[in-house]
Amino acid sequence: MSETAKQQNISEYFGCNVFNETVMRDRLPKKVYEAVMKTKNLGTALDNSVADIVANAMKDWAVEKGATHYTHWFQPMTGITAEKHDSFLSAAENGKAILDFSGKELVKGEPDASSFPSGGLRATFEARGYTAWDPTSNAFIKDNSLYIPTAFCSYTGEILDKKTPLLRSMEVINQQALRILKLFGNTTATRVITTVGAEQEYFLIDKKLFDQRKDLVLTGRTLFGAKPPKGQELEDHYFGNIKKRVSDFMKDLDMELWKLGVYAKTEHNEAAPAQHELAPLFTTANIAADHNQLTMELMKKTALKHGLVCLLHEKPFAGVNGSGKHNNWSLLANDGQNLLDPGDTPQENLQFLLFLCAIIKAVHTYAPLLRLSAASAGNDHRLGANEAPPAIVSIFIGSNLEGVLNALEKGKTYVAPTNQEFVIGVDALPNFPKDTTDRNRTSPFAFTGNKFEYRMLGSSDSISCVNTIINTIVAQVLSEFADELEQADNFESALRQLMARTIKEHKSIIFNGNGYSEEWIAEAERRGLPNLPTTADALPHYLKDEYVSVFEKFKIYTRAEIASRTEILLDNYNKVINIEALTMLDMANKQILPAAIKYTKELCDTVIAKKAIGIEGGAEEKLVRRLSDITNSLDEAISVLNQKIIDSKNCNGSQELSMFCKNEILPSMQSLRALADELETIIPDTLWPFPTYLELLFMI
């Protein structure tokens, strides 16, 4: 099929490898199909009696499309996906084989759970774990296997994955949102779902150059690298012309994603050189989480086909923008209402205003939970830089909505601005309605018209954790609101009083200004907003009693499960920094120091040769002294970092070690890097031992 034909037939092959509604309608008996769709749309339990029928239909469809194996595909606490493949093969009489797949095999799998992170929930010898089919997310075919999205738990029932809490939180916010809608007289909505669109940023670099950098191979980011003569100062890469090699990658990626039913929609160059972004259409939160995991996996695989490497690290290059993942979150009722759509007159839309107040209170009350949902060693390098929100959580709602809330707090009538048309001033160009809010790239949690965009998330993160937290904290506040309003004699009066009180108590979380400014840091402190700059600072908040009680109230997590997640995240933070520090030592000792010594020798030989014929060393002598001073300092910095790594072994527990990493190892790494980067500016390119930023960022 030609490239043109492929593009023309998108609608025909979109979702062709997905066991979707169309396939189910064609292959399942009507009653079975209706039961599955009821589970997908309403969250009702699926009767076990239909499992065999669905499994057989799945198997027949998959085999017809070339599949030979099936796998329960799940999201353990590693942050990536996991899979164990079994063939459809079963023994038959006379030494023959048949293809078989039972309902029991569809519903439950049994991977070894001992080697997945459990944060102390399970001992190594306690190996049994279970995967359970998630019928709300479609099965699909990839690499000749049938992939079945599943949840993952231990033999004793503890949650070992990221999907189960997300599914629970979706059910909880559904229940609490329906209580609110009922108060407003809504009798048509029977379910409220959280919808998510996860914009994915990434870098593409040449694989041949990638392979020459130990730091990129082992850690995903450059631990050394002097700033090139040109970075992103001219802002010429953002939305710029896409290079053919990158464009070919994007086209192939789109096709692979579309076949799997992923709604890849928008792609463009991002702000930093070699950086790009892909944005999908919105879909249900758990499906969005599945799709984002697939997107990251296929980005890496597709890049390799083009001789490229896709970097998903949050800060692969110093001095230019890092990569985030913008989590666009909204609430949609199954009667068609977007509950976060203010409409043309938000000041009159009391239902919208109540949901807005609930979100404001939730973010203010539980800000540390939102911050820690984006906590990782990689993201610590990005948050607060000029491409990412600060580590201080705040909400942007725009001047119009802020005016509405101020009027509501004071019991006054809000008068909307009269000029709501954007006039370009060129007769040939159309005028168009002006949006009610501007955009604020510096805000961690920004209202963007009919949704909230959480911008703190790191590019390599799963979106499951943050959406579990958002759903849970908003559900908690909606529950509090419903408890109060359901007892009211006069609903509208009680509603206005509740909203006015909420605004007064929680408006300090609203900030529409520049989140990058030093003034905001001081202002946030005056407002009493928490500033948790690193993972080591943020993660201990997970176990605060007031937060644990909310998760336990809604049966999202137990205290033990939260403790395990805290331990897993801290352990990952510590291990990442340890690997990076060891990699720095290896590169400094085996590559950078030898290059500096070799160049010093060349210069010394030149000085000696010049003096032998009666010429002073001049520039060479000066350079030798400078080079020697830096090299000696580098050697000393290597010793300091090495000693810090040794000292870290004396730390007692993950929390103490994380603070040691933050306060001792990371500063030592930065000192070592500064010296190495200075050497890079002196040593000739022909002697520098690995590709530079100039080559990595600009030579695709």
DSSP state letters, 211-279: TT-HHHHHHSS-S--PPPS-SSTT--STT-PPPHHHHHHHHHHHHHHHHTT--EEEEEE-SSTTEEEEE
The pLDDT tens digits for 381-392 are 998 655 567 889
Closest CA to 279 of 16, 459, 19: 459
pLDDT at 669 over 50: yes
**pLDDT confidence band for 301 (50 / 70 / 90):** very high
Closest CA to 529 of 392, 402, 396: 392
Sorted by sequence, the CB contacts under 8 Å of residue 117 that are 6+ apart come out as: 76, 77, 78, 568, 571, 572
Task: Supply the pLDDT for residue 387.
Answer: 58
pLDDT at 153 over 80: no
**pLDDT confidence band for 38 (50 / 70 / 90):** confident
pTM assigned to the model: 0.92
Closest CA to 277 of 244, 238, 320, 222: 238
Burial per residue of 428-461, b for 16 or more beta-carbon CB atoms within 10 angstroms, e otherwise: eeeeeeeebbeebbbbbbbbbebbbbbbbbbbbb
Closest CA to 159 of 183, 130, 188: 130
pLDDT at 118 over 70: no
Contact 135, 149 (CB under 8 A): no
Average pLDDT value for residue range 277-286 = 93
The pLDDT tens digits for 359-376 are 999 999 999 999 999 999
The pLDDT tens digits for 646-667 are 999 999 999 999 999 999 999 9
Task: Supply the pLDDT for residue 424.
Answer: 46
pLDDT at 441 over 90: no
Round to whole Å and give the CA distance between 385 and 317. Answer: 12
Lowest-confidence segment of 37-51, 89-103, 159-173 by average pLDDT = 89-103
**pLDDT confidence band for 431 (50 / 70 / 90):** very low
Which residue in the block uniquely carries the two structure tokens 């944060």? 119
Bigger pLDDT: 421 vs 345: 345
pLDDT at 104 over 50: yes
The pLDDT tens digits for 24-33 are 999 999 999 9
The pLDDT tens digits for 585-629 are 999 999 999 999 999 999 999 999 988 888 876 888 999 999 999
Task: Supply the pLDDT for residue 559.
Answer: 94
The mean predicted confidence, pLDDT, of the chain is: 88
Round to whole Å and give the CA distance between 648 and 302. Answer: 39
% of the chain surpassing 70 pLDDT: 89
% of the chain surpassing 90 pLDDT: 66
Phi first, then psi: what are they for 281, rounded to 5°? -70, 165
Average pLDDT value for residue range 168-192 = 96
Task: Supply the pLDDT for residue 1.
Answer: 46
Task: Supply the pLDDT for residue 543.
Answer: 96
Closest CA to 404 of 331, 328, 344: 344
The pLDDT tens digits for 67-102 are 999 998 888 877 788 888 888 887 666 666 667 787
Task: Supply the pLDDT for residue 8.
Answer: 55
- CA 351 vs. chain centroid, Å, equals 30
**pLDDT confidence band for 432 (50 / 70 / 90):** very low
Average pLDDT value for residue range 126-147 = 83
Q: Show the domains of the chain with their CATH numbers.
A: 12-161 (3.10.20.70), 169-557 (3.30.590.10), 573-698 (1.20.120.1560)
DSSP state of 18: B
Average pLDDT value for residue range 170-184 = 97
The pLDDT tens digits for 496-520 are 999 999 999 999 999 998 888 888 9
Residue 382: Cβ within 10 Å count? 23
**pLDDT confidence band for 252 (50 / 70 / 90):** very high
Bigger pLDDT: 271 vs 303: 303
Question: What is the SS3 assignment for 454?
Answer: strand
Task: Supply the pLDDT for residue 434.
Answer: 46
Bigger pLDDT: 236 vs 197: 197
Closest CA to 151 of 142, 143, 159: 159
The pLDDT tens digits for 626-649 are 999 999 999 999 999 999 999 999
